[in-house]
């Protein structure tokens, strides 16, 4: 590209300079021709004195009358001047490699009909010298530009090379390297910052994946161990039919727990911000909430819990019905699980500028230092890990994910041994 620009510049410079010199010579010859014509018209004699004095030594002149040369300056040198007699008020530039020579032919009508030819002396052809100089300089300039451009590109590409090197060294077990961010505010700095942010996100993603795999392995280990133990005990010797039935029931229950966990995991990965709106439908939230509460009616009566609906408004909105049902069922299920007998659970559903779902229980509560982790997958507060309360620690994670997919927010306020209040705002 630089070479093309240099060549174009050279040709443009040559053209402009050539035209400038040509126009200047033409203008000067025209002025001299008019000056001599004025003298002849005024009656001055056509003699050597006129041609030599007025033209001085910068120009040459010759006068033709009816095609015949009648007078010329002593220094007039023009090959075949008679051939110019056919021109009328015309400028001609004679060029060779060594010199330039301008010729102007002026038609005379007074004191006789004829032609006045005024020429310049031979002028050194500086244009050709300039062309030669340009032909010499352009390759040198091109090489210089290529060298400087190469150095500049190398400097610019240093961060890109670092990015390439770092990207090559990155593996699933190595996300420790980042690139130093340059001080200059430009596209390279933006690229480096974006690359470093990508590394941080990848590192966090791999850490979450490793933690997820570890948690899944841990949670699957318990039911699988129970299933394996039941099978080994059952096969150890012949037993009564009731013993076989009990073992099969235990295995079926643990298999159901595994199935439930897998379904929840699939639910967490099924929807994303990119596809969630495609699943939206018109949902009547009050009807969905009442339907969910009806499913837990027997459980509440068994635990003798007082379920109070403090506020319930008729609300219609576009949302994913499956996820909304999961929000209601998981929060209600948790409240019932962790609330002791004879205690209260209070529920509100209303709308102002946004939709509010609030559920408050008088359960065991959550320690303050563990509130930030309670929505992590498979996380269960130590105080709640007992055989009486079954679960995999996925409920609140599903709720949080579902709320965020609806561009909402969830807030948890809890006091140990006093209860928990969860606010869902959509």
Question: Which residues have a Cβ under 8 Å from the Cβ of 333 and sit 6 or more positions away?
Answer: 296, 395
Q: Give me the residues of the chain with pLDDT under 50, please.
A: 383-387, 392
Listed in sequence order, the residues at least 6 apart from 219 whose beta carbon sits closer than 8 Å to its beta carbon are 261, 378, 392, 393
What pLDDT sits at residue 382? 52
* pLDDT value for 385: 42
pLDDT value at residue 384: 44
Tell me the whole-structure pTM to 2 decimals.
0.50
- Residues 372-390 have pLDDT tens digits of 888 876 666 654 444 455 5
**CATH architecture, range 276-425:** 2-Layer Sandwich (3.30)
Q: Can you read off the two tokens belonging to residue 172?
A: 């699933």
In sequence order, what are the residues at sequence separation of 6 or more whose Cβ sits closer than 8 angstroms to the Cβ of residue 220? Answer: 258, 261
State the span(s) of the chain assigned CATH 3.30.565.10.
Answer: 276-425
Domain with CATH 1.10.287.130 in the chain: 187-270
CA separation, residue 296 to residues 14, 66, 307, 335, 388 (Å): 94, 128, 10, 11, 18
- Tokens representing residue 93 in the block: 């530039």
Q: What is the structure's pLDDT at 355?
A: 96
The answer to whether residues 116 and 85 touch, using CB atoms and an 8 Å cutoff, is: no
By residue count, the chain amounts to 426
Chain region(s) in the chain for CATH 3.30.450.20: 2-130
Q: What is the pLDDT of residue 383?
A: 45
Burial (CB count <10 Å: 0-12, 13-18, 19+), residue 414: buried
CATH number attached to the domain at 2-130: 3.30.450.20
Between helices 321-337 and 395-405, what is the axis angle to 10°? 150
CA distance linking residue 336 with residue 363, whole number of Å? 8
Look at domain 187-270 and name its CATH class.
mainly alpha
């Amino acid at each position: 590209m630089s070479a093309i620009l240099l060549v174009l510049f050279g040709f443009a410079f040559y053209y402009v300079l050539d035209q400038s010199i040509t126009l200047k010579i033409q203008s000067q010859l025209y002025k001299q021709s008019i000056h001599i014509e004025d003298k002849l018209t005024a009656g001055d004699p056509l003699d050597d004195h006129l041609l030599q004095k007025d033209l001085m030594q910068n120009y040459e002149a010759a006068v033709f009358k009816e095609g015949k040369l009648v007078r010329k300056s002593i220094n007039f040198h023009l090959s075949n001047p008679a051939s110019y007699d056919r021109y009328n008020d015309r400028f001609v530039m004679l060029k060779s490699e060594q010199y330039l020579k301008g010729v102007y032919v002026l038609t005379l009508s007074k004191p006789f009909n004829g032609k006045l030819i005024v020429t310049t002396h031979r002028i050194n052809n500086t244009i050709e010298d300039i062309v030669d100089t340009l032909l010499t300089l352009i390759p040198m300039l091109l090489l210089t530009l290529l060298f400087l451009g190469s150095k500049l590109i190398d400097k610019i590409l240093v961060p890109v090379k670092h990015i390439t090197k770092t990207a090559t060294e990155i593996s699933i077990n190595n996300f420790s390297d980042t690139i130093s961010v340059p001080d200059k505010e430009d596209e390279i700095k933006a690229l480096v910052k974006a690359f470093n942010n990508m590394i941080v996100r990848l590192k966090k993603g791999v850490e979450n994946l490793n933690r997820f795999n570890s948690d899944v392995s841990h949670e699957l280990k318990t039911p699988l161990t129970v299933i394996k133990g039941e099978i080994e005990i059952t096969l150890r010797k012949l037993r009564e039919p009731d013993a076989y039935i009990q073992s099969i029931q235990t295995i079926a229950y643990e298999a159901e727990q595994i199935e439930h966990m897998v379904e929840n995991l699939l639910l967490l990965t099924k929807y994303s911000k990119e596809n969630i709106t495609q699943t939206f439908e018109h949902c009547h939230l009050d009807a969905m909430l009442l339907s969910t509460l009806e499913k837990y009616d027997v459980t509440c009566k068994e635990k003798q819990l007082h379920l109070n609906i403090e506020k319930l408004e008729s609300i219609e909105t576009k949302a994913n019905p499956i996820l909304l049902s999961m929000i209601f069922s998981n929060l209600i299920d948790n409240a019932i699980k962790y609330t002791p007998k004879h205690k209260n659970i209070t529920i509100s559903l209303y709308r102002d500028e946004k939709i509010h779902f609030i559920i408050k229980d008088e359960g065991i509560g959550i320690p303050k230092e563990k509130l930030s982790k309670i929505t992590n997958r498979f996380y269960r507060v130590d105080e709640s890990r007992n055989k009486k309360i079954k679960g995999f620690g996925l409920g609140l994670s599903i709720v949080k994910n579902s709320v965020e997919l609806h561009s909402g927010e969830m807030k948890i306020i809890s006091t140990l041994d006093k209860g928990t209040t969860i606010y869902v705002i959509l």
